Structure 1
């Protein structure tokens, strides 16, 4: 569809989804395993863990590029590009899009990626130091650029419009969605592939390990991811990618697109003082309040909270305090769940994985459980999903909070016409 852009559609919908994760290489497998309470935790094989106390991670195994629709130039893709490009192809197919429907200039891609390129950077420079720069592949250098995964998707889909990477830590995925929505609302793009990816690599692992944020990084600790649990002793890293296709509602209707859910509102805040718990709680609470207010719905309309919680006892407690501050007594009526004990802390990618879970929860009326939750914190004030169960779900609040002070929340809902 070429020519001048039509009137800008203000309502933004999700028309396609794709995922690569430790618990599923497509949306049906991912969602079925999530609802079943299956965990993707397994021994790490991507690098040697013998010198670390921590041995486990949520690693994507049996990665087959052909299965993801990647058949050409596979040897030029790094791991993050396999994840993001594969998830993008799945989302594109799920949305029922075909080449030529939108002009190249009307399409865009936005990725959330802060940690994703660390593996390629570290490998490139280690080889340079070990063998000299003359022996390092020029193709490997191209993959050290932060925007390389987004650029690869743009090349694959012949996208000539927006091509951007958002780097705000663990909140990158939701911030990427917000950025993409702005471009659609202003008429600068008609459809955007938006997502995030992260790779389980030794460089990132070491950073979290030596700051003692990983479960099992201290003496005589068991490696266990248990969000919102009193016995939570740290996060466990995972990897993967999730992608969405975003479009304006009216444009999606014109082409008969599947309308999976609507992006209702987003909120974003920053806590300047990371040593002050009150500053962090207020930042988290304000991002949730802003997301709900911009959605033009009330607290009573939120059916489910998919929390950021990742088994880090400090951050889990701060999020629980923020939820109580926002919802008060209603926190006992609204279900709160967390998926990172199933998927791992996938950093940039986690928020998009949470979003996919939210869309599926709205569609099926099912709440995924918090795996390993036994002794919850604030159990008298917050209603947790100890096990999967069915209930009508109208609107879902999704939280993504960075270790560096960035708080982002988003509300999605069924698209009520």
Structure 2
């Protein structure tokens, strides 16, 4: 079985476009939550999000091409361009069939759908753009990345709500480990800040309603948390076989050890209070990685800032880590950027990888009031130096999906 390493990273986030800007924002405990400007938020219950207001697709993508992409595809294209450039991997006629693309996304082109549906209602079917379907469908992120790069290996998309990018990274890992690909561009993307997106999540009471204090609305593991903050963005990792990476003298950011998936067969949007979905996914990731729980040095948690998730995830970590639970730092990057839904785990995987590489733990900002049910070390409010070797990223999504990914510091 091939070992799998990470040789490239790309990110588009509410605290920075590009990995250097994103990581600087993480370390400096920056806050990417702001009033929504993409839509008229006045009629909505929730009026703020992790919006990337400075994103201009025409800085990165030819204007005609960008016009035929929904915002979620634009994000993924930009993140993938950065990841591939940083990897130094050249896609040629000789290797393109061994390089693939897998991009996860939870909801796809909501903005495009709303725009075209409005045209339909006002002017009838003749007003609907012929680009509606190819702009809206989730798999078009992977499709465009493949077209832009010329990668002709395994190419697909994963749709599993907020585990989408974790699952995409896992599938890419499996392709490489089995020897079916030499490298994969893998990650996730989401652009859910639309009228239906904000209304849908808002009306189901999943979102924080702190309109008067939006900067502190995303407060994972805090006693006064009241829901997650919607975010947007994308991240792409270049995963590569160790054999391929060494052969071309690539810079290696980290090693991906393995991943685990599970389901809790419980509820459309809820989760089992015993945390068994999380714990099973982590156990499977540990087994696949060939390591034990006592080797985990840091956890980048799903940590959504919802009343339900945070104590359940804490409970699962205590079960997995045992007596070490209070000594292993846990943080939630969602406190800074909001919840990127299908793109979240990919961004958080980069946070894990950079933490391993730089020896700095990402913070959980807005952690003001401890909760008796969330009593671990959440790296509150400021980043922290720590020499860590193995990092875990957790993810879960509506429908009872759970995923865990393990990365190891590269030192060979």
In the superposition, the TM-score normalised over structure 2's length comes to: 0.94
Pick the aligned partner of 1:289 from 270, 280, 283.
Answer: 283
Distance 2:62 2:187 in 1: 18
Question: Can you list the C-alpha shifts for 1:296-332, whole angstroms capped at 9, x where unaligned?
Answer: 2222211100000111011111111111111122011
Preserved contact between residue 103 and residue 165 of structure 2 (Cα < 8 Å):
yes
Asked if residue 389 in structure 1 is aligned to residue 381 in structure 2, the reply is no
SS at match of 2:186: strand
Question: Can you list the C-alpha shifts for 1:75-133, whole angstroms capped at 9, x where unaligned?
Answer: 22221111000000000001012241753211110011121222222322232222222
Question: Can you list the C-alpha shifts for 1:44-76, whole angstroms capped at 9, x where unaligned?
Answer: 001111112311111002212244355652222
> Which stretch of the first structure deviates more once superposed, 407-416 or 27-36?
407-416
Matched residue, 1:412: 407
Distance 1:249 1:408 in 2: 24
Matched residue, 2:240: 247
Preserved contact between residue 221 and residue 374 of structure 2 (Cα < 8 Å):
no
Preserved contact between residue 70 and residue 86 of structure 1 (Cα < 8 Å):
no
Distance 1:338 1:165 in 2: 26
Distance 1:388 1:416 in 2: 23
Preserved contact between residue 194 and residue 243 of structure 1 (Cα < 8 Å):
yes
Distance 1:34 1:168 in 2: 26
Question: Can you list the C-alpha shifts for 1:323-373, whole angstroms capped at 9, x where unaligned?
Answer: 111112201111011110101111011101110000100011000110101
Pick the aligned partner of 1:303 from 288, 297, 300.
Answer: 297
Matched residue, 1:5: none
Preserved contact between residue 355 and residue 398 of structure 1 (Cα < 8 Å):
yes
Preserved contact between residue 12 and residue 78 of structure 2 (Cα < 8 Å):
yes
Matched residue, 2:320: 326
Matched residue, 1:147: 139
Distance 2:199 2:154 in 1: 34
Matched residue, 1:4: none
Distance 1:300 1:381 in 2: 19
Matched residue, 2:90: 98
Distance 1:101 1:385 in 2: 47
Distance 1:31 1:279 in 2: 33
Distance 2:219 2:292 in 1: 30
Asked if residue 127 in structure 1 is aligned to residue 114 in structure 2, the reply is no
Preserved contact between residue 101 and residue 184 of structure 2 (Cα < 8 Å):
yes
Preserved contact between residue 341 and residue 370 of structure 1 (Cα < 8 Å):
yes
Deviation at 1:279, TM superposition (A): 6.2
Distance 1:210 1:49 in 2: 14
Preserved contact between residue 331 and residue 381 of structure 1 (Cα < 8 Å):
no
Deviation at 1:284, TM superposition (A): 1.0
> Which stretch of the first structure deviates more once superposed, 145-154 or 93-102?
93-102
SS at match of 2:75: helix
Pick the aligned partner of 1:353 from 347, 350, 367.
Answer: 347
Preserved contact between residue 272 and residue 279 of structure 1 (Cα < 8 Å):
no
Q: CA distance change for structure 1 residues 280 and 69 in 2, over 3 Å: closer, same or farther?
A: farther
In the superposition, the TM-score normalised over structure 1's length comes to: 0.93
Preserved contact between residue 265 and residue 400 of structure 2 (Cα < 8 Å):
yes
Where in structure 2 are there 5+ consecutive unaligned residues? none
Where in structure 1 are there 5+ consecutive unaligned residues? 1-8
SS at match of 2:262: strand
Matched residue, 1:10: 2
Question: Can you list the C-alpha shifts for 1:182-201, whole angstroms capped at 9, x where unaligned?
Answer: 11222222111111001022
Deviation at 1:159, TM superposition (A): 2.1
Distance 2:286 2:196 in 1: 37
Pick the aligned partner of 1:31 from 23, 27, 52.
Answer: 23
Distance 2:213 2:331 in 1: 28
Deviation at 1:145, TM superposition (A): 2.1
Matched residue, 1:6: none
- For the aligned residue pairs, the C-alpha RMSD in angstroms reads 2.2
Distance 1:210 1:218 in 2: 15
Distance 1:338 1:305 in 2: 9
Q: CA distance change for structure 1 residues 71 and 317 in 2, over 3 Å: closer, same or farther?
A: same
Pick the aligned partner of 1:340 from 311, 334, 338.
Answer: 334
Q: CA distance change for structure 1 residues 70 and 305 in 2, over 3 Å: closer, same or farther?
A: farther
Preserved contact between residue 298 and residue 391 of structure 2 (Cα < 8 Å):
yes
Preserved contact between residue 311 and residue 373 of structure 2 (Cα < 8 Å):
no
